[in-house]
Amino acid sequence: MTNSPTVIRLNQESDHYFGYSSTAYVKIASRVLGNRAPRATMPEQLSSRASVKSSASSSATGQRARTGTRTHRGLTCQNCRVRKTRCDGTQPQCKTCEVYQDECRYEKPPPMSQIMGMAKRLQEAEATIVELKRALEEATSVESKTSPTPNPSTDSPIVHRLPGPRITRRPAYGLGNTVPASAQGSTTEDLLSDICLDANGKICFYGSTSAVHDPAAFAGRSPNFQSFNDQSSKVDVRTLLTSNAMETRTWEEFAIGNAAVQNDIPREIMSRLLRLYWTWISPMFMWGYRPAFMRDMMTGGQYYSPLLLAIMCGHAARFHERRIAEMLIARGRLLLGVEIHRPSSITTVQALLQLSARDLAYGNVSQAWTYSGIAFRMVSDLGLRHSSGSIYSLGSLNAEDLEIRRRLFWSCYFWDKAMSLYLGRTPVLTELPSNHAPELLDDFAEHDTWAPEDGSGEASEKAATPAFPPMKSHVVSCFVNSCKLAVIISDIILHLYSTHHRDEGDMFLRAIRDRLDEWRALTADHLKLEPDNLPNISPPPHIVSQNLLYFATIILLHRPFNSATIHHAACRQAADSTERLVLLFERTYGFTKLSYLSAYCVYTSASVMVQDAKAGDTLARRKTENFLRALNAAAKTCDIIQRSVDIITNSLNAEPSRAIPISEPTRAPENTLLNRQYLPAFLYRDTQINFSSNPNMGGMEVDASSLLDCFPEQHHVEGSTGNWYLPPS
């Protein structure tokens, strides 16, 4: 039959075109006509045969309309249009073209409505996964509450933890078995008791014992704390933050040019240093939030300051521009003298944290510890622990503010644990937010392409480095996973290495080991490096550092019980895995890009190998030499690592006066070092070690002798007067 244009117009541009045969046109027309009478609706020009067919088709279509409608097919490839056959719209090749072995081509991309619909369904699926995980955690929590009550004479209060068996913790201030407030978590009532409003309506964070806490500030107000925490709101916020981050990337060059003029820094140098910063420094601890910083660099907003810019550029310049680094850090210290007299701010906290990290890298331990302490106090002053959606409805903060507050709190928490490990000191930040785990809604940077940046333009340290293929950075998921590991590390430090800890025996060890195993099992495949199946090219350094930190955590957990064979074997296996990752890192980047957190993990593994190397184990000796080679190269850009090198070298060269044999005890005797809360770096006493400088023992209190000596912080650096940052005369 002839397709009459008066019946229905169908072509390749029509939304109802499916590439059907001519017979299908009549069926579609009948479907459009519905159940109307054929004589009243069909044109007179149609033949009687077409009328009969259309009437039958209309009847069948009406029957289908009562039973169900046909699914709309959105895409049809060019070959199926020509063949006038059905096309399932599969990309990149439909099933029909696959059968005919034709090249499948689509003339037009999918409409934007379909793309947005797919994105929305993906976000809803992610929200469902998050909700299911939370429900599982709540079910586990309810189950644990129904378990038998622990004996107060033998068990300490329960503390919040990541998914995994619960552990016990002694109260921080020795108040018997009273459960501390931090162990109970932050509920909505706790939040209201910790915040108040000043005369201008600004949120202030004062507890209920404060003389300036006004409980009547919220009288008559019933904020909807669930309005921001529901999944639909989080999906909307995630979309908003991601789109803002994408838009900000287009302004960065203009923002750099504007800041270069205002700060008297050459644009080329600033651009190069910021690239180094976002590549090598930012991904591990994520001190700064790039979209807000770069946007406010151009507009002069609250999330940018000349102090923060100077510290960021000075921190990055230590890789290639030492003299520029000294000038920028000197400027930053002058600006800090002004900012410190102003109210606490996000940018000042970010600058203090990075200045602390920079000073630690250069061996200025006291300055680094002091700067971080000021930053942690400002974190409490700003109430960053209360950064969930619960305070969103109070009206003082928007979605971006909450995202920045969450990121900065967890940056502080992670950095606090890193410093505690390296310096062998008790963590400062031990309280967790109400959700106990970071939840970052802006994941735009997760999909950025990461490539090693050589800011100097010179050849890299290792000329044979293979071409680096494009890789996703995965910075967001890596940071979130590292923060979860930091929570476990905090419990290990407080239980096994704290001066006030109580020996909790095998139960605690098994609980922590189960949590570590669960953390490893839940780690995404793109963040996990298996020592027995390593790639040819290393992933980005922050992913390698996370895996190194995991193996170092295993050593920290088992090393107090190292006299038992099973625990020594666990330490040795973790050290072997560390060596493989370190060699992979060397083949790709060279050791000069090794961060001090990674260097700490290398040092921890070397402390395990030294004992076996001195006992005549040639394999352990070779692995120790690899560790020393890595530390020596990393010390070129990180001066503090030289201490670790000296400790290991002197321990290898000295003859031990008494070695601890490897045996099978299940519990250490009462007079061992373990029960005195003291653990030497190497599990024997070296009396013939002659360090280049005297131990820094001046002014130590009695309890200070219980600090870990297995970290290089205990050894004084000669000439650490702080003159390193001044430009040469």
Quick: pLDDT tens for 134-181: 888 777 765 554 444 444 333 333 333 333 333 333 333 332 333 333
| pLDDT at res. 214 | 62
Which of 118-132, 168-182, 505-519 is the least confident region?
A: 168-182
pLDDT in tens, 61-78: 444 444 444 445 567 888
Helix, strand, coil percentages, rounded to 5, for the chain: 55, 0, 40
Average pLDDT of the residues in 483-506: 81
Distances (CA, A) of 525 to 245, 439, 486, 533: 26, 19, 19, 12
**According to the model, what pLDDT value does residue 626 have?**
93
CA distances from 173 to 169, 181, 210, 499, 700 (A): 11, 12, 20, 12, 21
Q: What is the percentage of the chain residues whose pLDDT exceeds 70?
A: 62
Determine the average pLDDT of the residues in 469-491.
93
Q: Is the pTM of this model over 0.75?
A: no
For residues 328-334, give the mean pLDDT: 95
Question: Helix H segments across 493-532?
Answer: 505-522
Closest CA to 126 of 278, 48, 279, 239: 239
Query: What is the structure's pLDDT at 462?
Result: 42
For residue 715, what is the DSSP state? B
Contact 296, 467 (CB under 8 A): no
Top-ranked range on mean pLDDT: pick from 129-138, 146-155, 296-305 = 296-305
Residue 282 has a pLDDT of 93
* Mean pLDDT of the 91-119 span: 83
Residues in contact with 485: Cβ distance below 8 Å, sequence separation at least 6, in sequence order: 519, 546, 549, 550, 553
Distance of alpha carbon 398 from the chain centroid = 22
Considering 217-221, 383-387, 465-469, the range whose residues carry the highest mean pLDDT is: 383-387
Residue 195 CA to residue 391 CA, distance in Å, equals 10
Task: Please determine, for residue 36, whether its predicted confidence score (pLDDT) is greater than 60.
Answer: no
pLDDT of the residue at 230 = 64
Q: Using alpha carbons, select from 343, 367, 592 the residue that is nearest to residue 462.
A: 592
- Residue at token pair 């000596």: 709
* Per-residue pLDDT at 89: 85
Average pLDDT of the chain, as a whole number: 73
Is-contact 376 207, C-beta < 8 A? no
DSSP letter at 659 equals E
Mean pLDDT, residues 465-478: 83
pLDDT at 496: 86
SS in 3 state form for 544-570?
HHHHHHHHHHHHHHHHHHCCEHHHHHH
pLDDT band at 208 (very low <50, low <70, confident <90, very high): low
Residue with token string 């050459």 = 266
* d(C-alpha 420, C-alpha 436), whole Å: 20
Residue 667 pLDDT = 43
392 against 471, higher pLDDT: 471
Q: What is the pLDDT of residue 74?
A: 67
CA distance 226 to 224: 5
pLDDT of 26 higher than 50: no
Confidence check: pLDDT of 200 > 70: no
591 φ, ψ to 5°?
Answer: -80, -15
pLDDT of residue 229: 57
Name the β-bridge partners of 450.
471
Residues in a beta bridge with 454: none
What is the C-alpha to C-alpha distance for residues 56 and 42, in angstroms, rounded to an integer?
13
φ/ψ of residue 392, rounded to 5: -65, -40
Residues 6+ apart with CB under 8 A from 653: none
Q: What is the pLDDT of residues 631-656, one digit of tens each?
A: 999 888 888 888 889 989 988 887 65
Kindly report the CA angle at 642 between 640 and 646, in degrees rounded to 5? 135
Name the range with the highest mean pLDDT among 160-164, 180-184, 217-221.
217-221
pLDDT tens per residue across span 547-561: 999 999 999 999 888
Domain extents in the chain: 22-100, 232-435, 471-720
